[in-house]
Amino acid sequence: MQLKPEHIADYNQKQLEGHQRKLSYWTQEVAKAEPIIQKLIEFQIAIPSWALGTGGTRFGRFPGGGEPRSLEEKIADVGLLHALNRASGAISLHIPWDIPTDPEAIKQLAAQHGLRFDAVNSNTFQDQPEAEQSYKFGSLQHTDPAVRQQAIDHNIEVIRHGVALGSDALTVWLSDGSCFPGQLNFRKAFDRTLSSLEEIYAALPADWKLFVEYKAFEPNFYSMTVGDWGSSFLYANKLGPKAYTLVDLGHHLPNANIEQIVAILLHQGKLGGFHFNDSKYGDDDLTAGSVKPYQLFLIFTELVDGLDAKGMNHAKDLGWMIDASHNVKDPLEDLLQSVEAIQLAYAQALLVDREALEEAREANDAVRAQEILQDAFRTDVRPLVAEARRRAGASLNPLALYRQLDVRQQLIGERGAKTVATGL
């Protein structure tokens, strides 16, 4: 489905008076409003190709119809999201779920939708039909050199696909670990994993990055070989300057202080990027900001502070991506909600009075510090986010327009009610 510019223009015109009324406080009273709007316009969040269909659990999957049947249709769906919000200008592919058969044609199609290719993702947590070796007992950590080599070769193949598409980063998430005490020699598993990653790292183009993603548990529940930010940080340090830690918000134990983790990694120059989602218990892959919006704000507060301290570009110097599973929602609606939640947290973090906060910290005034943070968090920045969208040519309210146009039913009409997208 192609979203026509007049759809957005007509919708915005009808909403403009109410929007301007809400925005007037900002434009008249708040000096920071204009810089925040400009930063929001620049800030883009990548959409993962595997999140465009209905997700599932190990108990089942319930597709909602109209799901993309090919990589071309996935690009079209991300293009639709980007047309609605002008904040989803990149797509991240998971190989082998979405192997481009004609990379040049795929690049041109993405460009037509105003999209670039974000980090490419390897997959050594599933056995593929044509694979000679099994990853049942791990991939890069495996005791069998042949299994490790298959996993290494796959990652290098993913790099080649990424180069052809204009990507500049590889994300490696390993399900490697153990289910029971005694099953694994932790030291040997670490060394084998490091040696395997070194071969992958050596295959990186000069301008590429390697993101080492960690996860506390699942699918292994006794140990994970890259189980926390410390182990990822250790691998990244040993690999070299092109290797970084990638933080997935759902990959921590409950109540982990992710904002502190982010602050330290950024301070040490080893934070590579983010996979945004939300959770109640573990890796729930819920809509960003749906359960713990204050945590998301606190994370962005540390990000803004750390990026500014290093003179880094907010929009370009880290990787920003959603990684969620939409079990009961329309996937496109869920992604629109996640993008907006991320934008809101970012805008609120930009509002924090940094000078006053540092004064409170230096004076050990915990009450004052809390008030400064919560004052920013409790501020309604939705008019700023909407104005940024309007200026960028997007809808003032992407989700409302999506529903008004009955996009899902149109997609079902085009693709059918029983289509199932590739991925989890």
pTM above 0.75, yes or no: yes
10-residue mean pLDDT series, the chain (424 residues): 93 98 87 93 97 82 90 98 98 96 97 98 95 98 98 98 98 98 98 98 98 97 98 98 98 97 98 96 95 98 98 98 92 98 98 97 98 97 98 98 98 94 73
Q: CA–CA separation, 29 vs 388, rounded Å? A: 18
- Give the chain's length: 424
Backbone φ and ψ of 263, nearest 5°: -60, -45
What's the confidence (pLDDT) of residue 239?
98
For helices 366-377 and 354-362, the axis angle rounded to 10 degrees is 160
What's the confidence (pLDDT) of residue 402?
98
- Looking at the DSSP bridge assignments, the partners of residue 210 are 170, 243
Q: What is the CATH number of domain 44-335?
A: 3.20.20.150
What's the confidence (pLDDT) of residue 217?
96
Backbone φ and ψ of 170, nearest 5°: -120, 130
Domain boundaries, the chain: 44-335
Residue that the structure tokens 């790292």 belong to: 201
What's the confidence (pLDDT) of residue 24?
93
- Give the angle subtended at the CA of 184 by the CAs of 178 and 186, to the nearest 5°: 105
DSSP 50: G
Sign of CA dihedral 31, 17, 80, 345: positive
- Give the angle subtended at the CA of 279 by the CAs of 351 and 268, to the nearest 5°: 55
